[in-house]
Amino acid sequence: MRNLTEQLTQYAAYHRDTRNIGTHFVGIPLIVLALAVLLSRPAFALGAFGWTLPVSPAWALFIAATLYYLVLDVPLGLTMAAVSAACVAFGAWVAQAGTATWLGVGVGLFVIGWIFQFVGHLAWEHRKPAFVDDVIGLMIGPLFVLAEALFSVGWRPALRAAIEAEAGPTRINPPRAHAARP
């Protein structure tokens, strides 16, 4: 299994245009929230000692993802656990609404999130998304966004430098040259 630096470096190689990274700051959280919403049904109440906890497929997904993130890096995994818990709580809240609202919010967030992703890749990065070559990119995307946000406030400069040494610095890609039309 690749370590945190290797995972983030591979993902970063597909995301060097700052505008594309910006679209990911919107698209990926929307997709994660959509999954939390859509997977919050059905929910089953588990409880003991006077408390109950609604458990849903969203919990299973986010617990599995968090365990993977913790294996890669404990501090980053714990931060992602807090973010994931907030997403699952939001999903559970939306899932209490009627079916039309639940589906509308979930599908709407999902579609809008993917639109942002593909605009970033098609308009600015000019490169296919990372998950096309390695499906683990779907798991690394949320971690990448969190790491990039933390890098922006000075977190772990050595990790950022290691990623940029391999993937290159972020930049704004020039527009694609279009072939002249006859």
Bridge partners of 53, per DSSP, are 46
Average pLDDT, the chain: 90
pTM: predicted TM-score of the whole model, two decimal places: 0.88
Sign of CA dihedral 28, 110, 137, 169: negative
Q: What is the DSSP string of 104-157?
A: HHHHHHHHHHHHHHHHIIIIII-S--GGGT-TTHHHHHHHHHHHHHHHTTT--H
| pLDDT at residue 177 greater than cutoff 60 | no
pLDDT score at 23? 93
pLDDT score at 130? 80
pLDDT score at 180? 47
Spatial contact of 7 and 136, defined as CB atoms under 8 Å apart? yes
pLDDT category, 5, cuts 50, 70, 90?
very high
Please indicate whether residue 135 or residue 27 has the higher confidence score (pLDDT).
27
Spatial contact of 10 and 130, defined as CB atoms under 8 Å apart? yes
pLDDT per residue as tens digits for the range 159-176? 999 999 999 888 877 766
The 10 Å Cβ neighbour count of residue 145 is: 21
| pLDDT at residue 37 greater than cutoff 90 | yes
Buried b / exposed e across 99-115, counting CB within 10 Å, b at 16+? eeebeebbeebbeebbe
Q: CA of 90: how far to CAs of 83, 84, 155, 179, in Å?
A: 11, 10, 27, 47
Which range among 4-13, 47-56, 88-97, 136-145 shows the weakest confidence by mean pLDDT? 47-56
The pLDDT of 121-148, averaged and rounded, is: 86
pLDDT score at 82? 97
The pLDDT of 53-63, averaged and rounded, is: 90
pLDDT category, 181, cuts 50, 70, 90?
very low
Which range among 36-50, 55-69, 157-171 shows the weakest confidence by mean pLDDT? 36-50
